[in-house]
Amino acid sequence: MDFELTSGQHALRQKIADFCARECPPEFETSLDEGGAFPEDLYRKMADSGFLKISFPAEYGGTDGNILDIVLISEQLARNSYTAVYMYLVNVVFAGTMILNCGNEAQKKAFIPKLLKGDLKFAFALTEPEAGSDARSIKSSAVDRGDHFLITGTKYWTSGATVADYIITVVLTGPETAASREMSVFIVPTKSEGLKATPIRKLAGNAYPSCEVRYENVPVAKENILGGPEWLNNGLLQLFQTAEYERICIAASCLGGAETILRECTEFAKTRQQFGKPVIKFQAIQHTLADMATRIEAMRWMTYHAAWMKAESKDCFKEICMAKLFCSETLGDIARKGMQIFGGRGYSMEHRMQRYLRESYLSLYAGGTSEIQKNVIARFL
Ligand SMILES: Cc1cc2nc3c(=O)[nH]c(=O)nc-3n(C[C@H](O)[C@H](O)[C@H](O)COP(=O)(O)OP(=O)(O)OC[C@H]3O[C@@H](n4cnc5c(N)ncnc54)[C@H](O)[C@@H]3O)c2cc1C
């Protein structure tokens, strides 16, 4: 096993760090958190800087690379901007990889180059008001009307729906009574007649809206079935193929978030004076920081190791779920410890620590809850 980053990967990390320092420093994220609108301009700059293209094949406008590259990008963006990393995850890691892995040639050619240039944005709609962890219990459906399908139903928590051009939508397409719950995935234009998206107020990240999306007899062409008509009723298989990318990059985003909390806590502890000395001189604070640093090291190696396994085409779903579970839970623990190190200032809206704590919660649900990761891991034991 060789986990040494290549010189290209070191350069990539530095490039994204420089980009973030310039375009989305912490103050910018704070302004978004305080009621800022969707940062269209930031997304455009992310695309123009070329890093949406990384890890996609050159024939679709990418610059090649592998899964470790998107892991490094997710980690680096999350160090700086929760909004930037979630825009990246939804568009590039979820939608982009799903179209790349499951789309037919015409769909890859039509969507991926524009997505990588930032000319098209996507959202992904699986969850419904009554169907979360139990994806098979979705009720939204599509009925065949000859040359097109009509989609009816309600999706919930569809991130980026109000700013996207297309929503990759999972619906039932088999007979309503069938126990198999046959599903299909449609690429639905958001401008379609009968589609309405409404943002849900969230604990954090409101600049990138997560939405309720209502579909009332929304017409979708048959060529917009992901993979083409031959993939009708095989949507569940397509979801499984994307879950690994989604979960490993969420793990990486937690790693990036935790690194920032440790850095800011260390800086704070070195400057905050009590009892005549910086609080970092107290062993209790030193131990908390040492504990954070040790757990971050474990997050890093679990994430990189799982990404390396994926890049080597090894079976790694268990390791990816372990990394996602460990990193999302640990980020929450580290954010709570950060609040303690900051004392009362952690509770103040003048400081960022409370924002990091609020942001940390999303990773516990996105890509499946901790309980669902444990269910998967247990199946391998
Ligand atoms: C901010 C945000 C953005 C999101 N973005 C998207 C998006 O873009 N697209 C999308 O499709 N979805 C999105 N989601 C939805 C997310 O994937 C779901 O929240 C997640 O799958 C959990 O579903 P649920 O919230 O309905 O919880 P539920 O499934 O109702 O779970 C409730 C509780 O029961 C537990 N539980 C459920 N089943 C089991 C079981 N079998 N064993 C043990 N425990 C169990 C859960 O772990 C949880 O603790 C988003 C969610 C949030 C909060």
Q: Which residues pair with 362 in a beta bridge?
A: none
Token pair, residue 209, equals 């809206």
Q: How far apart are CA 365 and CA 249, in angstroms?
A: 14
Rg over CA atoms, the chain = 21
Instruction: Give 366: exposed, middle or buried? Use CB within 10 Å, 0-12, 13-18, 19+.
Output: buried
- Residue 208 parent element (H or E): none
pLDDT (tens digit, 9 = 90+) per residue, 86-140? 999 999 999 999 999 999 999 999 999 999 999 999 999 999 999 999 999 999 9
Question: Which of 154, 246, 369, 377 to probe ligand 1 with, by most ligand atoms within 8 A of CB?
Answer: 369
Q: Model pTM?
A: 0.96
Q: What is the pLDDT of residue 174?
A: 81
The rounded mean pLDDT for the chain is 95
Q: What is the pLDDT of residue 176?
A: 65
Topology (CATH) of 124-233 = Butyryl-CoA Dehydrogenase, subunit A; domain 2 (2.40.110)
pLDDT band per the 50, 70, 90 thresholds, residue 246: very high
Please check whether the two domains, 124-233 and 237-379, share a CATH topology: no
Q: DSSP strand E in 79-147: where?
A: 122-125, 141-144
Domain range list for the chain: 7-121, 124-233, 237-379
Q: Whose CA is closest to atom 44 on ligand 1?
A: 371
Question: Is the CB of residue 362 below 6 angstroms from any atom belonging to ligand 1?
Answer: yes
User: 166-172 and 183-189: which strand pairing?
Assistant: antiparallel
Atom of ligand 1 nearest to the CA of 369: 47
Q: Position 182: which residue type? A: E
Mean pLDDT of 190-202: 97
Choose which CATH entry (1.10.540.10, 3.40.50.740, 2.40.10.410, 1.10.260.40) describes domain 7-121: 1.10.540.10
Q: What is the pLDDT of residue 194?
A: 98
Q: How far is the CA of 315 from the centre of ligand 1 (A)?
A: 25
pLDDT band per the 50, 70, 90 thresholds, residue 35: very high
Q: What angle do CA 168, 209, 351 make, to 5 degrees?
A: 140
Q: What angle do CA 7, 13, 16 make, to 5 degrees?
A: 140
Architecture of domain 237-379: Up-down Bundle (1.20)
Question: Is the CB of residue 124 below 6 angstroms from any atom belonging to ligand 1?
Answer: yes
Q: How far is the CA of 79 from the centre of ligand 1 (A)?
A: 24
Q: What is the pLDDT of residue 179?
A: 60
Q: How far is the CA of 114 from the centre of ligand 1 (A)?
A: 30
Q: Residue 177: pLDDT above 80? A: no
Q: What is the pLDDT of residue 216?
A: 98
Contact at 8 Å (CB) between 166 and 225? Answer: no
Contact at 8 Å (CB) between 174 and 182? Answer: yes
pLDDT (tens digit, 9 = 90+) per residue, 321-370? 999 999 999 999 999 999 999 999 999 999 999 999 999 999 999 999 99
pLDDT (tens digit, 9 = 90+) per residue, 282-291? 999 999 999 9
